[in-house]
Amino acid sequence: MRSLTCLLIILMISSCGVREEKATQREESLKKEYLQKGGEIVNLSQSELLKNVSIATKTGGPGYAIDFCNLRAMEIKDSLSRLNNCQIQRIALKYRNPLDKPQSKKEEDLLRQYQLTVQRGDSIKPEVYVLEDRIEYYQPIFINKGACLICHGVPGTQVTDETLEKIMARYPNDLATGFSMNDFRGAWKITFMK
C-alpha cells in the first residue's frame, strides 16, 4: 500500500513538472511570435509617422510639422492600430503630448530602467510581457535622425525660438526638448488583447 501511495505521489509531482514545462514553452513561443509581430508594427508605425512629418516639414517648415503632429499623428496611430488589431502607443518620461505620459507605475518603472541601462552604456532591446488578458510589446525609441532635433533638440541651438514658440502654443507643458543624437527618447508600446 505504501509503495502504491509513493508511486502515485511521484507520478503527480512529475506530471506537474511536465505541465509547468509546457506552459513555459508556450509562453516562450508567444514571446518570440509577438517580438516579431510587435517589431513589424513599430517599423510600420514609425515609418508612416516619419514620412508624414518629413512631408509636413518640407511643405511648411517645423511649425507646420508641429501642427501636423498635434492634429494627425494620433489619427495615424489609431488607423494602424485598427489595421493590426492592437493598440499602438508611445510613452515617455519627457513627453510632449500628455497622452504619451506613462499611465502606470509599471510603465514609468520600465522607462526609468531603460534610461538607467542606457546611461550605464548598456544596450536595451524590445521586450514582450505575456499577461493574463493581453500581450504587451515595448521597443525603445532613440533620437537617431538629425531632423528630430529640429523639434526635440536644445532650445536656442537646434530648436529655433519660432519653433519653440509653436511647440509651447500646441503643448504648453512640453517636456520633450533638450535631446541630443542617440539619446533615449521613450518607448513604443503595442498591446495585443488575447
88, β-bridge pairs: 190
**Rounded average pLDDT over 132-157:** 95
Helix (H) or strand (E) holding 12: helix 2-84
Confidence of residue 89 (pLDDT cuts 50, 70, 90): very high
pLDDT computed for residue 69 by the predictor: 85
Q: Is the pLDDT of residue 180 over 60?
A: yes
Q: How far apart are CA 173 and CA 88, in angstroms?
A: 23
Confidence of residue 13 (pLDDT cuts 50, 70, 90): low
Q: What is the DSSP letter of 117?
A: H
Higher pLDDT, 68 or 108: 108
| DSSP sequence for 63-111 | HHHHHHHHHHHHHHHHHHHHHHTSEEEEE-SS-SSGGGS--SHHHHHHH
pLDDT in tens, 50-70: 998 899 999 999 988 998 888
Q: Is the pLDDT of residue 49 over 70?
A: yes
